[in-house]
């Protein structure tokens, strides 16, 4: 069964926009998966420790037959291929891939929470989702646009396409 999967992308190390562009290409060729659309990229302040560079974020919309944990495993393999190190919570990273939404799936276990737990607090995830699908809603029916209107401001700045491959 094919489901809509919305993946958040982030990076603030080693040419962040190039990291995201490469990750989009890698997501597009996952088994049982098709890339539907890619959002614009946005710059924003880091969440958590402020002693690190600003982040570049975006999102992709996939159609996938992968089960939630299979998809998570694939995302983590891509992160590792980009040199992702988990040294401190909300610290700098070469690539962060978050499974934000997966169809109408609601899941909360030791490895994965869908919808993503912090989604309502992250304008850098909500705005790219709205770029992809303006009428997108959470499984409980909450419109993503309503979450975006209530979300704390993280100084989100849309990057012109010339700033990323």
Q: What pLDDT sits at residue 140?
A: 97
Torsion angles phi and psi, residue 124, rounded to 5? -75, -10
Q: What pLDDT sits at residue 10?
A: 94
Q: What pLDDT sits at residue 137?
A: 98
Q: Which residues contact 72 (CB under 8 A, 6 or more apart)?
A: 99, 111, 112
Spatial distance between the Cα atoms of 127 and 57, rounded to a whole number of angstroms: 10
Q: What pLDDT sits at residue 163?
A: 59
Q: What is the pLDDT along the chain (165 residues), one digit of tens a residue?
A: 899 999 999 999 989 999 999 999 999 999 999 999 999 999 998 887 777 889 999 999 999 999 999 999 999 999 999 886 666 566 678 899 999 999 999 999 999 999 999 999 999 999 999 999 999 999 999 999 999 999 988 889 999 876 555
Compute the radius of gyration of the chain from its Cα atoms: 15
- What count of other Cβ atoms lies within 10 Å of the Cβ of residue 76? 13
Spatial distance between the Cα atoms of 19 and 23, rounded to a whole number of angstroms: 6
Q: Which residues are catalytic?
A: 84, 93, 96, 98
How are beta strands 55-64 and 33-38 bridged, if at all? antiparallel
């Amino acid at each position: 069964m094919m489901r809509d999967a919305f993946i958040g992308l982030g990076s603030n190390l080693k040419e962040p926009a190039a990291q995201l562009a490469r990750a989009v290409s890698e997501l597009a060729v996952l088994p049982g998966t098709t890339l539907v659309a890619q959002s614009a990229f946005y710059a924003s302040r880091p969440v958590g420790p402020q002693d690190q560079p600003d982040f570049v974020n975006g999102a992709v919309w996939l159609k996938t037959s992968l089960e939630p944990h299979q998809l998570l495993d694939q995302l983590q393999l891509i992160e590792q291929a980009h040199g992702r190190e988990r040294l401190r919570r909300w610290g700098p990273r070469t690539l962060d891939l978050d499974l934000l939404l997966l169809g109408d799936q609601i899941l909360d276990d030791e490895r994965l929470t869908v919808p993503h737990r912090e989604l309502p607090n992250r304008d850098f995830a909500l705005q790219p989702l709205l770029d992809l699908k303006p009428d997108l809603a959470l499984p409980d029916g909450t419109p993503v646009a309503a979450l975006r209107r209530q979300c704390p401001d993280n100084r989100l700045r849309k990057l012109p396409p010339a700033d990323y491959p």
